[in-house]
Structure 1
């Protein structure tokens, strides 16, 4: 994993990053319904505008595709509840995040029709959803297998970038026919341990990866709630 050495895991949403998310306004923040609201719920306008509709001279790309073709994404209330903080959601954005889900980041970077949304809390818990549109359902099935392979072998591959570290993985099974959930624990000297959950799934020619992470170990990970999150992610894709 050639991207791993330039950062220490797990990824932690800093106070500055949270401020940036909150600063996005109505398009950037989702709050859990049972927690004090900090701002309005984010929505993505599905109607193409004059600024986003491609013209005859413009070939649509991940950056210029009309918003009507953007897949549906999770909101903060769809993620496992944090015990002391609401979830803050960034905008749905074309392309990969700066730091993608590390177990499958290299595979995701091979795709062109990609969108992502990042989430954070006031503490050390963060999440990311990436959605890929493939050319056909057969291509999506094949790509889902690639992602599953990467998630299953993640703990072993991660050690290649951190030979002094420790890691372990768990297969939490398939919540449905087209979804699967994995857990990855990482530990490096002089740093906090990281617990990571990966949910992958497919609907038609759309494939999604949802990653969740926080300091600690997998014993404290909200596996049952996260399984519901990946099912919700699949239901919202179309």
Structure 2
């Protein structure tokens, strides 16, 4: 594990954030194992989640786990830790044979007003993730950017997080989106090594639109 990801792993423990992964982690390996073991045990909620084929194209095929209850380990996803309640939430993880990985988390709020509030909270967290990471980890360069709204159901918004460790010259790029249909909110994350110019932003917008359209 390189210096950047060692530092971010320490940050995870201090700030409750999920570390960026440039190579398949133990969690990624476990996700792939769960996918192989669970292919015949699909959740009845699977139809409301993205499939592997609906992720942005990758050099190697995507693998999707079954749909699990709750939220991923460490309270959720990078840039939005502990923001999505585990109750009434489900998630699916995605990975490839290379370094690309992702997750979708969906939750049903008690009321539509609560869903609106959660979307606002997640958008604030995603927009401010870069400065927070830099504050928590001196020496790391982290830039968050907004990439606009998608016209689907009650709306979806796309963000990116670009990180770099100048001492060892490594970079990671993550794309995020949060969208809503009534009381149901979904958050999608995609990540790999590289820069924003390497990210499939347009394809991720399509993935996001598909994710929100599948909500019910």
**TM-score interval, smaller chain:** 0.7 to 0.9
- Specify whether residues 2 and 204 from structure 1 end up closer, same or farther in structure 2 by C-alpha distance, changes over 3 A only: farther
Identify the residue that residue 89 of structure 2 maps to in structure 1: 114
Residue 229 of structure 1 aligns with which residue? 207
Give the aligned partner of residue 164 of structure 2: 187
For 1:180 and 1:168, the matched residues in 2 are separated by 17
Match of 1:205 among 169, 173, 183: 183
Deviation of 1:24 after TM superposition, in Å, equals 3.6
For 1:144 and 1:184, locate their aligned partners in 2 and report how far apart those are by CA, in whole Å.
Answer: 18
Q: CA deviation at 1:18?
A: 4.0
Q: CA deviation at 1:96?
A: 1.4
**In structure 1, distance between residues paired with 2:215 and 2:41:** 14
Secondary structure (helix, strand or coil) at the match of 1:115 reads strand
Once the two structures are superposed, the pairs formed by residues 138-157 of structure 1 within 5 Å of their partners are: 138-157=113-132
Cα distance change on mapping 1:20 and 1:119 into 2, 3 Å: closer
Is the Cα–Cα contact under 8 Å of residues 86 and 121 in structure 1 kept in the other structure? yes
Q: Is the 8 A contact 2:65 2:92 kept in 1?
A: yes
Match of 1:44 in 2: 42
TM-score by length of 1: 0.75
Q: Distance in 2 between matches of 1:23 and 1:162?
A: 33
Q: Map Cα deviations across residues 89-118 of structure 1 (whole Å, 9 max, x no partner).
A: 11210111114321112312x452211110
The RMSD of aligned alpha carbons is 2.7
Task: Answer yes or no: is the 8 Å Cα contact 1:117–1:128 preserved in 2.
Answer: yes
Conserved in 1, the CA contact under 8 Å of 2:148 and 2:157?
yes
Q: Which residue of 2 aligns with 1:14?
A: 24
Alignment-derived partner of residue 49 in structure 2: 73
Shift of 1:182: 0.4
Q: Which range moves more in the overlay, 175-184 or 216-225? A: 175-184
8 Å contact kept, 2:18–2:78: no
More helix by share: 2
Task: Mark the CA change 1:202 to 1:186 in structure 2 (over 3 Å): closer, same or farther.
Answer: same
Measured at CA, do residues 19 and 105 of structure 1 come closer, stay the same or move farther in structure 2, by a change above 3 Å? closer
Counterpart CA distance in 2 for 1:150 and 1:167 is 14
**Aligned residue in 1 for 2:3:** none
Given the superposition, is the C-alpha separation of residues 8 and 235 from structure 1 closer, same or farther in structure 2, using an over 3 Å criterion? closer
**1:27-66 residue pairs with structure 2 within 5 A?**
27-28=38-39, 44-46=42-44
Q: How many residues align?
A: 201
Q: Does 1:217 align with 2:195?
A: yes
Aligned residue in 2 for 1:52 = none
